Amino acid sequence: MITLPKKISARGHDCVVASVTMVCMYWRQTKQSLPWNLPLGFGHEEWSNFYEKGRTYVRRSGMPFNNIRHYLRTLDLPLNAKQELLEDAYGLRNLIRRNIPPIVLYDRNYFFKHERGIGHAVVLVDQTEEMFISIDPSFGPKYIHKLPKTDFEEAWKLKGNATVIIYPKHYKIKERKTPATTLMEYIEKGGQAG
Amino acid sequence: MKVTLRVQKLDRPELVAYDRILRRYGAGCYPQKPQEEEDHWKVPVGTFLESRVVDEKTNRERILTFNLRNVGEILVNKSTMRVLTATPLRSLGRNILKKRAEISHMVEQDLIKILGKPEMNIRFSELKYALTGLQPIYRTLNRLLLGDYPSYEDLLSSGSHYVEQVELIVDIGYADYTERRPAKLIATNKIKELYSQIGDMERTIDIVLGMILSEFYYHLQKGMRVAQFVPYVRASTGYYGDAIQFGQLISISEDRLCENVKEYYRGAPMPPRVRYAYPTIVRELVDAQILKYDGHYITGRADIFEKLIDIRNELPVSEEPISFG
C-alpha cells in the first residue's frame, strides 16, 4: 500500500490540485535524495503556499493538465507529470504495484447515481481483488474511499480512462499505443468505430 | 525505473477532443457528439459548472452542477486526427460566464414579474434610493390620485426624460392624455377603481410602481438609463437564486449575499453611482417585504419563493451525490 504522508481536504475543482500536492508530498518523503527545494515537514508554510499557488492555476473549466506540468516546472521540483488516457485498469494496477500513485479522473456522479457529471480526481493508493483504495480529497477527514473495481472502471471510462502520473524525473515512463476500438468491438458494432 | 503503459490511440474525434480538453481546459469540460464536416470533425464542448449553496444558519451545504452545453468547439482533422483549431481557454471561460449569466437572467426575469404582482404586497416606496430614479412616475402618480392633472407642457418642462417615464403609466393603462387641447394627463378609471379598492394612496402607488417595474424594468435600465433599482433587483436575485438552487428558503449572512451578487453578476457592469452599502439595501428590501430578517441572517418570503421554485425544473442543474450538512 502507498502511504500518503499528508491528506488535504478540498472540494470542487480543487480536487486535482489537492491530489497533485499529496502525491508531491509522497515523493518528497520517499525520494529524499532528490534535489528538493521544499522541506520535509509537511506542516511547513511552504507546503501550504505550494497548494495555494496550485489553486491559482484552476480555471472555471477545471484544472487544465498542462497547467500541472507548468506549475511543477515553475517550482523547479525534481518531478515530471504526464496525463494519459490509459487503455484499461491494468496500467493502474501496474503503477500501484510499482509504488507510483496514479491520480485518476472518474465520473463520480455516474459512480453514485448513474448520471453523467463532472470529473473528480482521486489518488489510488492500493488495490484488493475487488477494490481500488483511493484517497479522496473531498472525503476529509476520513479520506479513504474504497471503489469497487467494476463500478469504478465504468465511471473512469466515461472520463476516457484519464490518469495523471507524477513521478521522479529519472523514472522512464513509456507509452504503448493501442487502438481505442479493438477489432472485436469494431466487428460487434457492425464496422463502425466509436 | 522503467514503466510501460498501454495508452489509447487517439483514433476517434471525441477522444482527440477529450485529450485536448483535459490538457487545455480541465476536467470540468466534456466533448459533445461530434459533427461530421467536409474534411474535419466538429466537436462541441460542454462544461459542468459547480455551484455551492449554503444555508448558513443550519450550516448545510448543497453542491450543484450546471450542465452548460456548447461553450466551445474543437475541430479535428479527419486525415491526421489532430486538432485543427480549438476555442482558446480565455474565450471558453467567457462563454461559460455568458451561459451562467443567462441562467441568472432567467431567475431575475421571473422574480421581477412576481414582485410586480399586486397580491405580493411589495412596498416599493420603501426602496428609497430606487425612488430617486423613479421620481417622475412617483410624483405623477401622486398628482393623479390627488386629482391634480398636469398638462403635457407642464410635464415636458421638467425634461423629455420626465415625460418618457410618465408615459410608462399611460402604457399600462393607468393614465391617459385628453384629446382636447391643451392635452392633460388624467387618471383612468383603472387607477381610480384600484384606489377605491385599496383606499390607501401609498399602497396604490406601490402597486402601480410594481406593475411598471415588472413590465418595463429592462427598458428603464437600458433604454432610459434609470439604474437606481438595479442593486435591489440584483440583491434579491442573489438571495432567491440560491434558495431556488437549494430547493427551500435558506438563511444567509449579509456577506454571503454580497458574494452571491458578485458571483451571479460576474462580468456584468454595475451602473455608475449606484454602489449602495449592503446593510442599507438589505434593510430597505426587508422594509419593502421582499426579504426578511431571521435573527442575524437574511431569509426570503415563502410566497415569493413558492412562485419561483418552478424555475428549478428548467435549470440545467443536477445535485452532486455528496452534499454536506
Q: Are residues B145 and B93 in the same domain?
A: no
For cell 470542487, name the residue.
A12
Residue A17 has what pLDDT? 94
User: In which residue ranges of chain B is pLDDT below 50?
Assistant: none
Tell me the residue range of the domain where A109 lies: 14-170
Tell me if A180 and B2 make a contact (CB, 8 A cut-off). Answer: no
For cell 384629446, name the residue.
B179
pLDDT higher than 60, residue A193: no
Asked if residue B298 belongs to a domain, the reply is no
* Mean pLDDT value across residues A143-164: 95
The ipTM of this complex is 0.90
Residue B323 has what pLDDT? 65
Q: What is the CATH number of the domain that holds A93?
A: 3.90.70.10
DSSP secondary structure, B1-18, as one string: -EEEEEEEE--SHHHHHH
- The contacts of residue B161 (CB under 8 Å, 6+ apart) are B136, B224
Q: Are residues B22 and B78 in the same domain?
A: yes
| CA B45/CA B28 separation, integer angstroms | 10
Looking at the complex, does the CB of residue B81 fall below 8 Å from at least one CB of chain A?
no
Q: State the count of interchain CB pairs (< 8 A) between A and B.
A: 168
Looking at the complex, does the CB of residue A64 fall below 8 Å from at least one CB of chain B?
yes
Residue A132 has what pLDDT? 96
Asked if residue B166 belongs to a domain, the reply is yes
Domains in chain B, number: 2
Tell me if B7 and A173 make a contact (CB, 8 A cut-off). Answer: no
Tell me if B26 and A159 make a contact (CB, 8 A cut-off). Answer: no
Tell me if B5 and A112 make a contact (CB, 8 A cut-off). Answer: no
Q: Are residues B93 and B23 in the same domain?
A: yes
Asked if residue A186 belongs to a domain, the reply is no
Looking at the complex, does the CB of residue B93 fall below 8 Å from at least one CB of chain A?
yes
Residue B314 has what pLDDT? 84
Q: What is the CATH number of the domain that holds B174?
A: 1.10.10
pLDDT higher than 80, residue A190: no
Looking at the complex, does the CB of residue A98 fall below 8 Å from at least one CB of chain B?
yes
Tell me if A176 and B6 make a contact (CB, 8 A cut-off). Answer: yes
Residue A12 has what pLDDT? 83
Domains in chain A, number: 1
Chosen from B9, B22, B35, B89 to mutate, greatest number of chain A CBs within 10 A: B22
Residue B312 has what pLDDT? 85
CA distances from B239 to B55, B254, B290 (A): 11, 10, 10
* Mean pLDDT value across residues A142-163: 95
Residue A181 has what pLDDT? 67
Q: Are residues B29 and B98 in the same domain?
A: yes
Q: Are residues B153 and B217 in the same domain?
A: yes
Residue B304 has what pLDDT? 94
Asked if residue B251 belongs to a domain, the reply is no
A111 to chain B: nearest residue by CA?
B321
pLDDT higher than 90, residue A126: yes
- The contacts of residue A162 (CB under 8 Å, 6+ apart) are A83, A84, A85, A86, A104, A105, A119, A156, B18, B22, B27
Name the grid cell of A171.
523514472
Asked if residue B175 belongs to a domain, the reply is yes
pLDDT tens for A6-52 read 999 998 889 999 999 999 999 999 999 999 999 999 999 999 999 99
Asked if residue A187 belongs to a domain, the reply is no
Tell me the residue range of the domain where B213 lies: 135-225
Residue A185 has what pLDDT? 73
Mark which of B184, B205, B225 sits at the end of a domain.
B225
Mark which of B196, B225, B254 sits at the end of a domain.
B225
Tell me if A193 and B12 make a contact (CB, 8 A cut-off). Answer: yes
